[in-house]
Structure formats: C-alpha cells, structure tokens
Structure 1
Amino acid sequence: MLNSFRTFSFIFGYLPFSAISLRKFMKQKKQLSLEEYDQLIHTEPQKWATGIMKRTKSKVSIQGLEKLPEGPVLFVSNHEGNFDIPTLLSTIPKPFGFISKKEVKKFPIIPMYMEEMNCVFLDRTDRRSALKSITDTVEKLKEGHSILIFPEGTRSKGDGLGEFKAGFLRIAKDANVSILPIAIHGTADIMEKNNNKVMPATVQVQLLDPISSDTIKEMNTKEAIAMIHSRIAETIVTLSMQKYNLD
C-alpha cells in the first residue's frame, strides 16, 4: 500500500510544478527549432516518468539505445501495462509523442503536456476518430516528430503478445518513416499482476534494429506485420530468460 500511495502521490503531486515549466517552455517556442523545442518539452515528462519509476522501487534497464535513428521514427512496442509509458519516457532520450485514449483528457495538466509532446488522442468507440488518429499521426511524423504506438491496442497484462492491428504499418508507409520495434518485459509485474497494487519489479526494455521506410514499402502488409510481431515476441522471450537468470 505504501508503494502505491508514494507512486500515485508523486504522479499527481508533480503536475502543478510541471505546469510552471510548461508555461515557460511555450514562451520559447518561437525562438527554437522543431528539434530543440521537442527536446525541451521532453525534459519535464522525462523527469516525471523517472520519478514515477523510482517510487515504484523498480529496477529498469534498457538496451539498444545506439539503434536510435536520426529524424522522426515510429516506435512500435508491445503493451504490458500502465507503466509502459513512464518506463519508455524515462529511458529513451529521443523525444516522442504517443497515441492515447481520449479519457486521459479528463486529467489535469497532463493533456496540456501531451499536446505539446505531439500526442494523438483516440476514441476507440468511434471509427471516425480511429481513422482521424491515423491521419493525425502521419502528419505529426511528416512534421518531424517521433511517435510511439502500441499496435496490440490494449494491455496484455503480461499474458503474452497479442495480435497487432494493421494501422501502424499504414502510418509508417504514409509518413515515409522507419519503424523501430521495442520489446518491454516486466511492467505488468508493477501493478497489473498485483491486484492493482504497486510493487517493485524488474523491467527490461530492448530497442531492436530499425526497419527502413524502403523495406516497409517493399513488403506486403501481412508479411511486414508478421515480421515485426515475431521480432518483438522473440525478444520478449529472451528478456524473460535474462530476468529468470538474474533472479
């Protein structure tokens, strides 16, 4: 219980302080390049996410940072649990937005930051909203921003890798950007597997080799999705074995 209280107190308690920084950052927007502004905006979410993960008392490691490409990229990751976003924000230095359910807009301050981070909001009950989210994501990538997507569409809660929806591939093709697959293992152990109580866990992140826009265009949709799904699935198994050896 103490871990849960400590973590959620920080999640919401930090927001008023981040709002002050956000106002300062937004005043500098006109004087900065797109890359400079994205990096500036990324600093507060990264601090926030790092603070969250620290308070869960989890051990977080990442491999493959040398694989991060220059320019905009579509990050494609499996989705274990609610702590995937804090994990990735705290470990990946490259600024990125992400596709999020529209319910997040009800929270204070967080949506303001997400808009500046170039996040895209999705109403999963509305087909038009789903199509618009694809278009909006393509536009963000074309503008030069990187975006993270969870093609499973929902949390697996650590129960294996779910089926990938095809929308992410259309986004990468239309935006003409590379895909960088990500495998996450262990975030479901923080909360989802503990009856929603926050517990310490060992969390591993592996960035895989980027798949160039040319390669994506050359492959048919089913082949490309199967390849990316397979690479992430195999890496999750490897990370699981590494964790077992560590334990």
Structure 2
Amino acid sequence: MNFEEFLEYIKTHDEYTTQTVTKRPLFPSLKFYAGFVREVWIQASNTGQEDYLDSIQRGAHRMLRRCELVGATVHLSGLSNLKEVATDQPPVVVANHMSTLETVTLPFLVAPAAKVTYILKASLKSYPIFGKVITGMKAVGLTRKSPKEDLKAAINGGTESIKNGIGIIVFPQSTRSVQFDAKKFNSLGLRIAKKAETQVLPICLKTDMWGNGKLVKDFGKVDPSKDVHFHIGKPFQIGNVKQDQQAIVEFMTSHLAEWFGKQDAK
C-alpha cells in the first residue's frame, strides 16, 4: 500500500498484519540498509520544506514497508485507540526502545493522531546528514551531562512543542535494549504530559528484527525471521504519576512476554 492507502487503513482498522510475505533476500541487511541510507539522504534534502514533518511521516511509512520488502512480517494492533487521542492537543507518546526501527517508523504509525518529534541525545544533531533531519524535526536535545538540567530541558522543550501543535515521542529507557528493565523505564513522558496538560499515548513495540551493531550500534544484523510488533494503547490523562507509571510498565511487560513467547515457539 502507498502512503495514502496505508494511512487510511490505519484510520479505519484496529489491526494490520503483513498479508503477503516477501521472499527473503540473500543479504537482507545489505538491502535494508541501502534503503535506510537512501531515506536519510532524502529527508536531509527535504529539510527546507514548509511542512517537513509531513515528509518525515512519508519516510516513516517507507521504512515500515522496507521491513516487509526484506521478508519480515509486521503486526500492528490497537490502531483504533488513535481515534481517542484529543484533537485539540497532541499527545506525549511513551514507548519502550529496542532498536532504531521505532525511531524511523513511529511518526507514520501515529500520523492519524498527530505530527510528532522526539526527545533525544543532543549529540545526534551533530551527526553528518542525519543531524540535519533531527534539527529539521525541531527535536528536543538532551546533553546527558546533568540529569537536573536534562529534566528541565525535556519538560520545558516538550511542553513548548506540544503548545505548538507537535507531539513528543519519549523513550524512557534512554538506551536501546531488547530486554525491558522496568527500573530503567523512567516517568519523564508522564511528567511532560502532566506539565503540558495533555494525554499520554503508550506504545509497546518489538523491533529486534533490526539488531544493534557491535562496532556501530545503528548498523546491526537485520533478521527478517523476527516479526515486528507495535501495539498502541489507550491514551489517558495523567492522574497519579506513580500509579500511571506502574500501569505503563505492566502494559509493556505483558505484551513483550506474549510476543517473545510466540517467537520462541517458532
């Protein structure tokens, strides 16, 4: 499906699963990364566009399709929950962080609800080519030198972005990991949502198809035999931060246990 067709599908269905699995290429990593590099180049070239986040959404769609083109099966669920996102203010998207895949696909998956940017390491803005994309998205950068200053920058920057009509994606784990560690899953996203008086949209994902590299973390092995999963939870307004945080952790652990259980059973 092209961008418009897939976007309409997400708006009108609750689930999606790859219907026709493409034969896996002999060198899936090579084919996948060729498409990824091309996409980064396209987005870096488009930074001058008036509606740059629309270009980002379209690129995110192409990256999701790229998974299928190398033979992976993509499962999307909870899509109907996007309809419950308030139309007058974008949400704070809170997700676990497993690989680079969610970074380059989430803007498309939440497109029916909002245009989004990220809270991420400020150092990414200095990356060749990719840094132009991050800067173009007006992402909120954190230095990771002072936790106190980073917290202040994240809350203020995230709140300002939401006031300007751009939602925020937060990965509370900070670093990518296949294993979910609840102790490292902080409440930053909830604090931003509370300050901005907006909803939290929880998303659980399994994206270990795109492995983390040993030499270059962004370029690990691509394994199409590992299914890609995204489950979108119900958006909610912050009540008690501690209780809401525990609910999100339980949401994450239950879905991950189910998906990895199915993978191990293959």
Normalized against structure 2, the TM-score is what?
0.74
Runs (5+) with no aligned partner, structure 1: 27-36
Asked whether the equivalents of residues 29 and 222 of structure 2 are also in contact (C-alpha less than 8 Å), the reply is yes
Match of 1:107 in 2: 127
Residue 21, structure 1, aligned to residue 21, structure 2: no
Q: How does 1:149-228 map to 2 (within 5 A)?
A: 149-156=170-177, 158-163=178-183, 164-185=185-206, 187-192=207-212, 196-200=220-224, 201-212=226-237, 216=238, 218-219=239-240, 221-228=241-248
How big is the shift at 1:21? Answer: 3.4
Tell me the matched-pair count: 228
Higher helix proportion:
1
Asked whether the equivalents of residues 57 and 108 of structure 2 are also in contact (C-alpha less than 8 Å), the reply is no
Between 121-130 and 221-230, the greater mean CA deviation after superposition? 121-130
How big is the shift at 1:80? Answer: 1.4
Q: How does 1:27-176 map to 2 (within 5 A)?
A: 37=51, 40-50=54-64, 52-54=66-68, 56-68=70-82, 69=85, 70=87, 71-94=89-112, 95-127=115-147, 128-156=149-177, 158-163=178-183, 164-176=185-197
Identity %: 22
Query: Which amino acid in 2 is paired with 1:236?
Result: L
In structure 1, what is the Cα distance between the partners aligned to 2:33 and 2:263? 26
Asked whether the equivalents of residues 94 and 172 of structure 2 are also in contact (C-alpha less than 8 Å), the reply is yes
Asked whether the equivalents of residues 98 and 149 of structure 1 are also in contact (C-alpha less than 8 Å), the reply is yes
In structure 1, what is the Cα distance between the partners aligned to 2:262 and 2:107? 23
Normalized against structure 1, the TM-score is what?
0.79
Runs (5+) with no aligned partner, structure 2: 1-25
In structure 2, what is the Cα distance between the partners aligned to 1:20 and 1:81? 24
Residue 130 to residue 55, structure 1, CA distance change in 2 (3 Å)? farther
